[in-house]
A = this chain, B = another copy of it.
Protein backbone atom coordinates (compact mmCIF):
# COMPACT_ATOMS: atom_id res chain seq x y z
CA UNK A 1 0.00 0.00 0.00
CA UNK A 2 1.51 3.28 -1.03
CA UNK A 3 -0.26 4.88 1.90
CA UNK A 4 2.76 6.88 2.94
CA UNK A 5 4.40 7.59 -0.40
CA UNK A 6 3.63 10.56 -2.62
CA UNK A 7 4.72 11.06 -6.21
CA UNK A 8 5.67 9.17 -9.33
CA UNK A 9 9.22 10.27 -10.07
CA UNK A 10 10.00 12.67 -7.24
CA UNK A 11 8.80 10.33 -4.50
CA UNK A 12 8.46 11.17 -0.84
CA UNK A 13 7.94 8.32 1.66
CA UNK A 14 7.13 9.43 5.17
CA UNK A 15 7.43 7.58 8.49
CA UNK A 16 7.28 8.29 12.19
CA UNK A 17 5.10 9.02 15.15
CA UNK A 18 4.92 12.15 17.23
CA UNK A 19 6.40 10.55 20.31
CA UNK A 20 8.55 7.77 18.90
CA UNK A 21 12.33 8.18 18.69
CA UNK A 22 12.19 10.13 15.42
CA UNK A 23 10.25 11.04 12.31
CA UNK A 24 11.67 11.14 8.82
CA UNK A 25 11.27 10.57 5.13
CA UNK A 26 12.99 9.04 2.14
CA UNK A 27 13.07 11.08 -1.03
CA UNK A 28 13.71 9.11 -4.18
CA UNK A 29 14.19 10.22 -7.75
CA UNK A 30 16.13 13.40 -7.02
CA UNK A 31 18.41 14.38 -9.90
CA UNK A 32 22.12 14.11 -9.13
CA UNK A 33 24.64 16.92 -8.59
CA UNK A 34 22.27 19.38 -6.91
CA UNK A 35 23.84 21.28 -4.01
CA UNK A 36 22.20 20.16 -0.78
CA UNK A 37 23.10 20.26 2.89
CA UNK A 38 21.33 20.19 6.23
CA UNK A 39 21.54 23.95 6.73
CA UNK A 40 19.55 24.55 3.54
CA UNK A 41 16.72 22.26 4.65
CA UNK A 42 16.89 23.57 8.20
CA UNK A 43 15.89 27.08 7.20
CA UNK A 44 12.59 25.76 5.86
CA UNK A 45 12.02 23.76 9.04
CA UNK A 46 12.79 26.77 11.17
CA UNK A 47 10.18 28.73 9.25
CA UNK A 48 7.61 26.10 10.26
CA UNK A 49 8.75 25.24 13.75
CA UNK A 50 6.50 25.76 16.75
CA UNK A 51 7.10 28.14 19.62
CA UNK A 52 7.88 31.09 17.42
CA UNK A 53 5.08 33.32 18.59
CA UNK A 54 2.17 33.15 20.96
CA UNK A 55 -0.15 31.82 18.29
CA UNK A 56 1.84 28.68 17.99
CA UNK A 57 2.25 25.60 20.13
CA UNK A 58 4.89 26.08 22.78
CA UNK A 59 6.28 22.61 22.22
CA UNK A 60 10.02 23.27 21.99
CA UNK A 61 11.07 20.87 19.30
CA UNK A 62 14.43 21.66 17.83
CA UNK A 63 13.41 19.90 14.61
CA UNK A 64 17.03 19.38 13.69
CA UNK A 65 17.18 17.55 10.37
CA UNK A 66 19.89 15.01 9.60
CA UNK A 67 20.75 13.81 6.11
CA UNK A 68 21.46 10.11 6.35
CA UNK A 69 22.00 9.23 2.70
CA UNK A 70 21.90 10.38 -0.89
CA UNK A 71 24.22 13.35 -0.49
CA UNK A 72 27.97 13.17 -0.96
CA UNK A 73 30.37 16.05 -0.56
CA UNK A 74 27.50 18.52 -0.55
CA UNK A 75 25.76 17.22 -3.66
CA UNK A 76 22.90 14.88 -4.35
CA UNK A 77 24.01 11.57 -5.83
CA UNK A 78 20.74 10.45 -7.43
CA UNK A 79 20.21 7.80 -4.75
CA UNK A 80 17.50 8.03 -2.07
CA UNK A 81 17.85 10.91 0.36
CA UNK A 82 16.97 9.82 3.87
CA UNK A 83 16.10 12.61 6.27
CA UNK A 84 15.55 12.16 10.00
CA UNK A 85 14.36 14.50 12.73
CA UNK A 86 14.71 13.18 16.25
CA UNK A 87 11.88 13.74 18.69
CA UNK A 88 13.74 15.47 21.52
CA UNK A 89 10.88 17.09 23.41
CA UNK A 90 8.40 14.27 23.65
CA UNK A 91 6.84 14.56 27.09
CA UNK A 92 4.77 11.41 27.14
CA UNK A 93 3.05 12.15 30.41
CA UNK A 94 1.29 15.15 28.91
CA UNK A 95 -0.73 12.78 26.80
CA UNK A 96 -1.48 9.89 29.12
CA UNK A 97 -5.02 11.13 29.79
CA UNK A 98 -6.00 10.65 26.16
CA UNK A 99 -4.94 7.02 26.16
CA UNK A 100 -8.45 5.67 26.45
CA UNK A 101 -10.63 8.55 25.29
CA UNK A 102 -11.25 9.62 21.71
CA UNK A 103 -10.67 13.33 21.20
CA UNK A 104 -13.45 14.69 18.95
CA UNK A 105 -12.08 16.03 15.67
CA UNK A 106 -8.98 13.88 16.01
CA UNK A 107 -8.07 10.57 14.39
CA UNK A 108 -8.12 8.67 17.70
CA UNK A 109 -11.42 6.98 16.97
CA UNK A 110 -10.72 6.10 13.36
CA UNK A 111 -7.20 4.75 13.96
CA UNK A 112 -8.49 2.59 16.78
CA UNK A 113 -11.33 1.28 14.65
CA UNK A 114 -9.16 0.66 11.61
CA UNK A 115 -6.10 -0.87 13.20
CA UNK A 116 -7.34 -2.10 16.57
CA UNK A 117 -4.26 -0.41 18.07
CA UNK A 118 -2.89 3.12 18.13
CA UNK A 119 0.07 5.01 19.46
CA UNK A 120 -1.97 7.50 21.46
CA UNK A 121 1.00 9.59 22.49
CA UNK A 122 0.53 13.03 20.97
CA UNK A 123 -1.61 11.67 18.20
CA UNK A 124 1.06 9.23 17.07
CA UNK A 125 1.11 8.97 13.31
CA UNK A 126 -1.77 11.41 12.85
CA UNK A 127 0.08 14.21 14.61
CA UNK A 128 0.79 17.35 12.59
CA UNK A 129 4.38 16.79 13.63
CA UNK A 130 4.71 14.60 10.53
CA UNK A 131 4.37 17.70 8.37
CA UNK A 132 7.94 18.65 9.32
CA UNK A 133 8.99 15.88 6.94
CA UNK A 134 6.90 17.33 4.15
CA UNK A 135 8.52 20.71 4.68
CA UNK A 136 11.93 19.06 4.45
CA UNK A 137 10.94 17.15 1.30
CA UNK A 138 9.55 20.37 -0.14
CA UNK A 139 12.89 22.05 0.39
CA UNK A 140 14.52 19.33 -1.72
CA UNK A 141 11.77 19.63 -4.34
CA UNK A 142 12.49 23.32 -4.77
CA UNK A 143 15.99 22.44 -5.99
CA UNK A 144 14.42 20.95 -9.09
CA UNK A 145 12.13 23.87 -9.80
CA UNK A 146 14.79 26.43 -10.57
CA UNK A 147 13.16 29.79 -11.13
CA UNK A 148 9.76 28.89 -9.70
CA UNK A 149 8.76 30.92 -6.64
CA UNK A 150 6.25 29.43 -4.23
CA UNK A 151 4.78 31.55 -1.51
CA UNK A 152 1.79 31.19 0.75
CA UNK A 153 -0.03 33.34 3.26
CA UNK A 154 -3.05 33.21 5.52
CA UNK A 155 -5.99 35.10 3.98
CA UNK A 156 -8.64 34.39 6.60
CA UNK A 157 -8.57 33.58 10.32
CA UNK A 158 -11.83 32.47 11.85
CA UNK A 159 -14.51 34.59 10.19
CA UNK A 160 -12.11 37.48 9.45
CA UNK A 161 -10.81 37.85 5.93
CA UNK A 162 -7.57 39.49 4.89
CA UNK A 163 -9.12 42.96 4.75
CA UNK A 164 -9.89 42.70 8.45
CA UNK A 165 -6.39 41.51 9.25
CA UNK A 166 -6.13 44.07 12.07
CA UNK A 167 -8.68 42.00 14.00
CA UNK A 168 -6.71 38.77 13.81
CA UNK A 169 -4.51 39.33 16.87
CA UNK A 170 -7.36 40.21 19.20
CA UNK A 171 -9.52 37.45 17.78
CA UNK A 172 -6.85 34.84 18.42
CA UNK A 173 -6.17 36.18 21.91
CA UNK A 174 -9.84 35.90 22.73
CA UNK A 175 -10.06 32.47 21.15
CA UNK A 176 -7.21 31.24 23.30
CA UNK A 177 -8.73 32.74 26.44
CA UNK A 178 -12.01 30.98 25.66
CA UNK A 179 -10.23 27.65 25.48
CA UNK A 180 -11.42 27.54 21.89
CA UNK A 181 -9.65 27.48 18.54
CA UNK A 182 -9.96 29.03 15.09
CA UNK A 183 -9.88 27.85 11.51
CA UNK A 184 -8.17 29.62 8.64
CA UNK A 185 -7.93 29.90 4.89
CA UNK A 186 -4.54 30.05 3.21
CA UNK A 187 -3.52 30.89 -0.31
CA UNK A 188 -0.41 29.53 -1.99
CA UNK A 189 0.86 30.87 -5.28
CA UNK A 190 3.55 29.45 -7.55
CA UNK A 191 5.03 31.95 -9.97
CA UNK A 192 7.19 31.08 -12.93
CA UNK A 193 5.84 27.59 -13.52
CA UNK A 194 6.44 26.76 -17.18
CA UNK A 195 3.55 25.89 -19.46
CA UNK A 196 3.02 22.16 -19.98
CA UNK A 197 3.30 20.55 -16.53
CA UNK A 198 0.55 18.05 -15.81
CA UNK A 199 -1.24 15.29 -17.62
CA UNK A 200 -4.68 14.54 -18.94
CA UNK A 201 -7.56 12.86 -17.17
CA UNK A 202 -6.14 11.25 -14.01
CA UNK A 203 -2.85 12.80 -13.01
CA UNK A 204 -3.97 16.30 -13.81
CA UNK A 205 -1.79 18.90 -12.18
CA UNK A 206 -4.75 20.30 -10.25
CA UNK A 207 -5.86 16.80 -9.24
CA UNK A 208 -2.44 16.04 -7.80
CA UNK A 209 -2.37 19.42 -6.06
CA UNK A 210 -5.79 18.70 -4.59
CA UNK A 211 -4.59 15.37 -3.22
CA UNK A 212 -1.43 16.90 -1.80
CA UNK A 213 -3.31 19.71 -0.08
CA UNK A 214 -6.24 17.66 1.22
CA UNK A 215 -3.66 15.37 2.81
CA UNK A 216 -2.44 18.18 5.06
CA UNK A 217 -3.78 17.85 8.59
CA UNK A 218 -7.01 19.81 9.25
CA UNK A 219 -7.58 20.76 5.60
CA UNK A 220 -11.24 20.40 4.55
CA UNK A 221 -11.41 22.32 1.28
CA UNK A 222 -9.34 23.15 -1.79
CA UNK A 223 -9.79 25.67 -4.56
CA UNK A 224 -7.85 26.35 -7.74
CA UNK A 225 -8.13 29.84 -9.23
CA UNK A 226 -11.61 31.23 -8.78
CA UNK A 227 -12.68 27.95 -7.19
CA UNK A 228 -16.15 27.92 -5.69
CA UNK A 229 -16.74 31.48 -6.84
CA UNK A 230 -16.39 30.29 -10.45
CA UNK A 231 -19.72 28.50 -10.09
CA UNK A 232 -21.49 31.86 -9.97
CA UNK A 233 -19.70 33.46 -12.93
CA UNK A 234 -21.07 33.59 -16.48
CA UNK A 235 -18.94 31.68 -18.98
CA UNK A 236 -17.67 34.74 -20.80
CA UNK A 237 -16.35 36.22 -17.54
CA UNK A 238 -14.76 33.04 -16.26
CA UNK A 239 -12.96 32.26 -19.53
CA UNK A 240 -9.47 33.73 -19.42
CA UNK A 241 -9.15 35.44 -22.78
CA UNK A 242 -5.79 35.44 -24.53
CA UNK A 243 -3.82 38.20 -26.24
CA UNK A 244 -0.23 38.53 -27.38
CA UNK A 245 2.03 40.69 -25.22
CA UNK A 246 5.70 41.15 -25.92
CA UNK A 247 5.40 38.40 -28.48
CA UNK A 248 4.10 35.87 -25.99
CA UNK A 249 0.66 34.52 -25.11
CA UNK A 250 -0.85 36.66 -22.38
CA UNK A 251 -4.01 35.82 -20.45
CA UNK A 252 -6.23 38.76 -19.56
CA UNK A 253 -7.33 37.12 -16.29
CA UNK A 254 -6.54 34.02 -14.24
CA UNK A 255 -9.82 32.48 -13.17
CA UNK A 256 -8.29 29.13 -14.08
CA UNK A 257 -5.59 29.53 -11.46
CA UNK A 258 -2.89 28.66 -13.95
CA UNK A 259 -4.22 25.26 -15.01
CA UNK A 260 -6.35 24.25 -18.03
CA UNK A 261 -7.23 20.64 -18.79
CA UNK A 262 -4.94 19.54 -15.99
CA UNK A 263 -1.89 21.22 -17.54
CA UNK A 264 -0.15 24.41 -16.44
CA UNK A 265 -0.73 27.50 -18.58
CA UNK A 266 2.36 29.41 -17.52
CA UNK A 267 0.28 31.78 -15.40
CA UNK A 268 0.50 31.84 -11.61
CA UNK A 269 -0.81 28.67 -10.03
CA UNK A 270 -3.23 29.79 -7.34
CA UNK A 271 -4.42 27.39 -4.64
CA UNK A 272 -6.54 28.05 -1.58
CA UNK A 273 -6.98 25.71 1.39
CA UNK A 274 -9.50 25.76 4.20
CA UNK A 275 -8.24 24.60 7.60
CA UNK A 276 -10.70 23.57 10.26
CA UNK A 277 -10.11 24.92 13.76
CA UNK A 278 -7.59 23.06 15.93
CA UNK A 279 -9.28 20.03 17.44
CA UNK A 280 -7.24 20.09 20.66
CA UNK A 281 -9.05 22.58 22.85
CA UNK A 282 -9.59 23.26 26.55
CA UNK A 283 -13.31 23.48 26.02
CA UNK A 284 -14.81 20.27 27.41
CA UNK A 285 -16.30 18.02 24.73
CA UNK A 286 -18.56 15.00 24.90
CA UNK A 287 -16.95 11.79 23.76
CA UNK A 288 -16.66 8.08 24.45
CA UNK A 289 -13.84 5.86 25.64
CA UNK A 290 -12.42 2.65 24.19
CA UNK A 291 -14.84 0.60 26.25
CA UNK A 292 -17.83 2.38 24.76
CA UNK A 293 -18.68 4.50 27.78
CA UNK A 294 -19.79 8.09 27.43
CA UNK A 295 -17.39 10.60 28.96
CA UNK A 296 -15.99 14.10 28.53
CA UNK A 297 -12.57 15.31 27.46
CA UNK A 298 -10.49 18.46 27.79
CA UNK A 299 -7.34 18.51 25.70
CA UNK A 300 -4.55 20.18 27.62
CA UNK A 301 -1.06 20.58 26.33
CA UNK A 302 0.77 22.85 23.97
CA UNK A 303 -1.46 23.46 21.00
CA UNK A 304 -1.74 26.15 18.36
CA UNK A 305 -5.07 27.95 18.61
CA UNK A 306 -5.06 28.11 14.79
CA UNK A 307 -3.26 25.30 12.98
CA UNK A 308 -3.87 26.99 9.67
CA UNK A 309 -1.07 29.44 10.39
CA UNK A 310 1.50 26.71 10.66
CA UNK A 311 -0.05 24.96 7.70
CA UNK A 312 1.20 27.58 5.26
CA UNK A 313 4.80 26.33 4.92
CA UNK A 314 3.44 22.79 4.67
CA UNK A 315 1.17 23.81 1.80
CA UNK A 316 4.08 25.56 0.10
CA UNK A 317 6.13 22.38 0.47
CA UNK A 318 3.41 20.14 -0.93
CA UNK A 319 2.99 22.42 -3.94
CA UNK A 320 6.74 22.24 -4.53
CA UNK A 321 6.61 18.44 -4.30
CA UNK A 322 3.79 18.16 -6.85
CA UNK A 323 5.46 20.58 -9.24
CA UNK A 324 8.84 18.83 -8.96
CA UNK A 325 7.25 15.48 -9.72
CA UNK A 326 5.42 16.82 -12.77
CA UNK A 327 8.51 18.73 -13.84
CA UNK A 328 10.45 15.45 -14.07
CA UNK A 329 7.52 13.64 -15.68
CA UNK A 330 7.14 16.31 -18.31
CA UNK A 331 10.85 16.19 -19.02
CA UNK A 332 10.68 12.43 -19.47
CA UNK A 333 7.80 12.42 -21.90
CA UNK A 334 7.99 15.67 -23.80
CA UNK A 335 11.53 17.02 -23.90
CA UNK A 336 13.39 16.22 -27.05
Over the window 269-291 of chain A, the binary record of Cβ atoms lying under 8 Å from chain B Cβ atoms (1 yes, 0 no) is: 00000111111010101111000
B238 & A277 in contact (Cβ 8 Å cutoff): yes
B221 & A215 in contact (Cβ 8 Å cutoff): no
B242 & A287 in contact (Cβ 8 Å cutoff): yes
A245 CB to nearest B CB, Å: 10
Q: Verify if A249 is at the interface (C-beta below 8 Å from B).
A: yes
Chain B residues positioned under 8 Å from A204 (CB to CB): 214-215
Over the window 8-23 of chain A, the binary record of Cβ atoms lying under 8 Å from chain B Cβ atoms (1 yes, 0 no) is: 1101011111001111
Q: Verify if A136 is at the interface (C-beta below 8 Å from B).
A: no
A118 to B72 alpha-carbon distance, docked (Å): 8
Over the window 84-116 of chain A, the binary record of Cβ atoms lying under 8 Å from chain B Cβ atoms (1 yes, 0 no) is: 100000000000000000101111011101111
Q: Verify if A43 is at the interface (C-beta below 8 Å from B).
A: no
* A126 in contact with B277 given A26-B26, A184-B231 (CB within 8 Å): no
Q: Verify if A316 is at the interface (C-beta below 8 Å from B).
A: no
B180 & A234 in contact (Cβ 8 Å cutoff): yes
Interface residues on A, range: 35 or more
A294 to B21 alpha-carbon distance, docked (Å): 49
B200 & A244 in contact (Cβ 8 Å cutoff): no
A27 CB to nearest B CB, Å: 9
A42 CB to nearest B CB, Å: 17
A191 CB to nearest B CB, Å: 18
Q: Verify if A64 is at the interface (C-beta below 8 Å from B).
A: no
B231 & A125 in contact (Cβ 8 Å cutoff): no
Q: Which 9 A-B pairs have the closest CB atoms?
A: A107-B261, A181-B235, A3-B199, A332-B332, A183-B231, A211-B211, A110-B263, A210-B214, A207-B215
Q: Verify if A4 is at the interface (C-beta below 8 Å from B).
A: yes
Chain B residues positioned under 8 Å from A229 (CB to CB): 274
Chain B residues positioned under 8 Å from A234 (CB to CB): 158, 175, 178, 180-182, 277
A235 & B102 in contact (Cβ 8 Å cutoff): no
Q: Verify if A213 is at the interface (C-beta below 8 Å from B).
A: yes
Chain B residues positioned under 8 Å from A206 (CB to CB): 214-215, 220
A332 to B263 alpha-carbon distance, docked (Å): 18
A1 & B5 in contact (Cβ 8 Å cutoff): no
B215 & A220 in contact (Cβ 8 Å cutoff): no
A26 & B4 in contact (Cβ 8 Å cutoff): yes
A243 & B114 in contact (Cβ 8 Å cutoff): no
Chain B residues positioned under 8 Å from A213 (CB to CB): 210
A38 CB to nearest B CB, Å: 12
B72 & A124 in contact (Cβ 8 Å cutoff): yes
